[in-house]
Amino acid sequence: MWTFFSFIILERGMCMIYTVTMNPSLDYIVQLETFKEGKLNRSIFEQIDVGGKGINVSIALKHLGRISTPLGYLAGFTGDEIERRVSSHGLIPDFIKLEHGESRINIKMKHEIETEINASGPTVEKDDIEKLYVKLEHLTDGDVLILSGSMAAGVDQNFYADVMKFLAGRKIRIIVDAGGSVLKTVLPYCPYLIKPNQKELSEIFNIDVLENQMEEYACKLVSMGAQNVLVSLGDQGALLVNHKVYRCSAPSGEVINSVGAGDSMVAAFLTSKLNGEDDQTALEKSVAMGSATAFSYGIADQEAVDLLYKEMVK
């Protein structure tokens, strides 16, 4: 039951935030001038970043002044390095260590086009899933849970829906950012926010959703249970649908690295709402941070976001 105190906690943002990344990674980013298949290619720039959508959200939240606890699974020496890098951002992760396998290394190759090779990662056993439920049991009214990214090997595609069912009855805002088939399973549990793109809208409705139909189908997701639907429109900006429809144009700039842009949008939207701002402002700040991240290497910091936001609304 809602109490006056729990309402104040939720509205003023005095809450615990948890992110779940089922299959974290190290992302090896390689920049090439040209790429010749079957030949020796030399890079002109390399960078290793910690990867995983939930982790990206946690880092983005930290840059916006919000502390969160990253949850999920790690394995092997790559898992140790992921944990070290997450901690270096000033976060205190609470990952579960798997006994077998290695956390994955993904390759992001950039030249005229961007090519990604995502590894499979370790297998999560039933006992490991139970360990995560033990951690989730501690969530209380007013907390926020962000379920983001693909499932690890061994985890059912209904897992996010199962988590929402497990937490049903608690006043927890649950955000889900995943593939279309996964998003479809969580709609009956009324997620606070989902963030489908055009491809995922098509997967949910099993049709080819056109650009000019995205608003229509986002509205349908609200009627199916989603409280807020945030849809990125690429260089056209984004739209937010709940009981109303809000739009925001994208700022101009050179896209350097799109990895983490969508996760930055989620973090900025949540931060804005926890700060008590209205839906249009939350959408604008979401677009500002997503764009600022796309225009830089890594997750954008508060200064870059503020500068871009001021340009957008002046």
Confidence grade of residue 142 (pLDDT, cut at 50, 70, 90): very high
Q: What is the average pLDDT across 112-138?
A: 94
Structure tokens at 281: 């402002």
**pLDDT greater than 50 at residue 92:** yes
Region 77-103 average pLDDT: 97
Give yes or no for residue 3 having a pLDDT over 50. Answer: no
Backbone phi and psi for residue 72, each to the nearest 5 degrees, phi listed first: 145, -155
The mean pLDDT of the chain is 93
Contact 285, 292 (CB under 8 A): no
pLDDT band with cut points at 50, 70 and 90 for residue 161: very high
**Dist. CA 213–CA 220, nearest whole Å:** 11
pLDDT of 2 higher than 80:
no
- Residue 141: predicted pLDDT: 96
The average pLDDT across 237-242 equals: 96
Residues in Cβ contact with 116 at an 8 Å cutoff, skipping those fewer than 6 apart: 106, 107, 108, 109
Q: Using the predicted structure, report yes or no on whether residue 99 has a pLDDT greater than 90.
A: yes
Burial classification of residue 134, based on how many CB atoms lie within 10 Å of its CB (0-12 exposed, 13-18 middle, 19 or more buried): exposed
Question: Would you state the pLDDT for residue 113?
Answer: 84
CA 96 to chain CA centroid, nearest Å: 19
Q: Active-site residue 278, yes or no? A: no
Give the up-direction half-sphere exposure of residue 16: CA atoms within 13 A in the CB hemisphere.
Answer: 12
- Domains contained in the chain, CATH given: 15-155 (3.40.1190.20)
Q: What is the per-residue pLDDT for 9?
A: 41
Rg, C-alpha atoms of the chain = 19
Residue with tokens 């997450």: 86
Binned at pLDDT 50, 70 and 90, residue 257 comes out as: confident
The whole-number average pLDDT for the span 84-106 is 97
Q: Which of 156, 263, 301, 306 is catalytic?
A: 263
106 has pLDDT over 60: yes
The mean pLDDT of 222-239, rounded to a whole number, is 94
Strands 69-74 and 144-148: unpaired
